[in-house]
Amino acid sequence: MKLVGVYSSSHETFKDEWFLRTLKDDYEVCLYPSEARGHGNYMEADWQQAVRFKSAKIIETIQKNWGEVFVYSDMDVLFVGPTKTTIQSCLNGKDIVCQLDDPGGNLCTGFFAVRANDVTLKLWQQVQRATACEGRDQIAFNRLVRAMKEVRAGYLPPSFFGMGTFTGRQFPEASRIYIPANPVMFHANFTIGVEQKTALLDRAQRIITRHRPGRVANNLFFRLRHGMITPEVIKTLTRGDRITQHYDCNAFVRPSSVALDLSTACQLKCPSCPTATGVIAKSIGTGILPLANFEKFLQEHPWVSDIELSNWGEVFLNKDLESILRHAHERHVALRIDNGANLDRASDRVLEAVVKYNLRSLTCSIDGASQEVYSIYRVNGNQRLQKAVSQRIPGLTLAVCRLWSQRTRDREGSGDGRRAGDGVLCKTVLGRPLWRNFLAGKRS
């Protein structure tokens, strides 16, 4: 049976000092050097390059070893006993079996055995595509393996374990390592950087090689510290015939929709707004989110696909807004400004970008039909919204007018629409169809 692995220069030390030195079985070892150069830290450019190389090598191995089974392993692994026989029996009736990554049931793409067939080829080809966009493979793998009903996936027993398997927490914040009965393999995951991984491998080896009373004492302290997640839960989980269907571990809530304030500053002084009265400045500060931070956020949270951009300030004050809209559009992340914008400083160029990069929806507050009434509440506002409505966003005109006249009728029955705007908080939502009309040049 083949044992496949890839390594970059930063992880070569794990290959020589831990992986090869501790390997117990007579695998046909096939290790491929990646050209990635760097520190090998999680999500850094060289790390992502190595992950992409890994997907390519897994696909290549599946294609060249059709019908056979092979093991893939990262290099930050310490072998404690023979693994081959257990792996072969776990793969009975399965396409892929992985080390359990955390108590939530996630599968680890750092150590697994796979049957080379059309199902696993399709799975890894999809993982490869997702990795190119998301920068890492494990989250995509867990999503896809559950979505593809034809994949028969399972867990390796807890004797194949990593730092996260029993804790779901990172080393060194979580310092205790639970040692299961008859361990055969330890994976130094759930930590970042070569130094930490080496420290983790050292510690795991020290505890594993203790006499039985030493391991029992270690596990007792682990239970006292970690309470709810007991090793019995992990044993039951990995004994099951199926992988868990949900990311139901509290430690790893990964929302697809989030709010990210692009600005906590505003040029208006609406009397009841905490931004205008200075409360927000005192509590979270006044600032603008730069493009670089937005890019970093998307890179580090690839599972986020929908972002609300407004909360405590005026989004259109952000000078990077055009670039942010473009970047999100390229990454297929939907953006919304539903909480509100006053549009007072929206330039033609940014409004163009709003349309071009498909902002999903936008809410504007209009507190008066005339400048005089509008500025009673929107202090310092110069009713540019209305100008924007009439001159620059033709699609919005209809929505505003309809809402305005509807509110008028609701409030006063009929009569002078200008007076009806007094004191009424009107909001209109500009949705995608309107943007599309605008794009198509319709002026209805």
Residue 275 is a binding residue for ligand SF4 (CB under 6 A): yes
Residue 343 region, left (φ>0) first, then alpha (ψ -120 to 50), else beta?
Answer: left
Q: Closest separation between CB of residue 344 and ligand SF4, Å? A: 8
Q: Output DSSP code: residue 15.
A: I
Q: In this chain, which of 145, 188, 268, 289 binds ligand SF4, going by CB under 6 A?
A: 268
- State the angle between helix axes of 432-439 and 348-356 in degrees (0 to 180), rounded to the nearest 10: 110
Helix (H) or strand (E) holding 129: helix 118-134
263 binds ligand SF4 (CB under 6 A): no
Decide: is 86 part of the binding site for ligand SF4 (CB under 6 A): no
Which stretch in 140-148, 231-239, 266-274, 321-329 sits in contact with ligand SF4 by CB under 6 A?
266-274
Q: Site for ligand SF4 (CB under 6 A): which residue of 34, 61, 86, 342? A: 342
Instruction: Give the residue among 24, 42, 162, 140 at the shortest CA–CA distance from 85.
Output: 24
- Please tell me the distance from the alpha carbon of residue 190 to that of residue 174, in angstroms, as a whole number: 10
359 binds ligand SF4 (CB under 6 A): no
Q: Does 165 bind ligand SF4 (CB under 6 A)?
A: no
CA distances from 45 to 13, 132, 253 (A): 20, 12, 25
Ramachandran angles phi, psi of 75, nearest 5° = -90, -20
Q: d(Cα 385, Cα 430) in Å, to the nearest integer?
A: 13
Q: Please tell me whether residue 364 binds ligand SF4 under the rule CB under 6 A.
A: no
Choose between 1 and 259: whose C-beta lies nearer to ligand SF4. Answer: 259
Q: Which stretch binds ligand SF4 (CB under 6 A): 113-121, 231-239, 249-257, 272-280?
A: 272-280
Neighbours of 79 (CB within 10 A): 19
Least distance in Å: CB of 347 to ligand SF4?
17
CB 5, CB 73: distance < 8 Å? yes
User: Between 26 and 55, how does the x/- string for binding to ligand SF4 read (CB under 6 A)?
Assistant: ------------------------------
Q: Which of 31, 56, 276, 350 binds ligand SF4 (CB under 6 A)?
A: 276
Q: Binding ligand SF4 by CB under 6 A: which of 74, 76, 308, 314? A: 314
**Residue 303 to residue 140: CA distance in whole angstroms:** 9
Q: Concatenated DSSP letters for 364-421?
A: EEE--SSHHHHHHHSTT---HHHHIIIII-HHHHHHHHHHHHHHHHHHHSSS-HHHHT
Does 270 contact ligand SF4 by CB under 6 A? yes
Query: At its nearest, how many Å lie between ligand SF4 and the CB of residue 271?
Result: 9
Count of positions on this chain that bind ligand SF4 (CB under 6 A) = 11
How far apart CA 81 and CA 186 sit, in angstroms, is: 10
Taking the complex as a whole, how short is the minimal distance between the CB of residue 375 and ligand SF4, in angstroms? 12
Residue from 43, 273, 291, 355 touching ligand SF4 (CB under 6 A): that is 273
Q: Select 71 or 343, whichever has its Cβ closest to ligand SF4.
A: 343
The residues binding ligand SF4 (CB under 6 A) are: 266, 268-270, 273, 275-276, 313-314, 340, 342
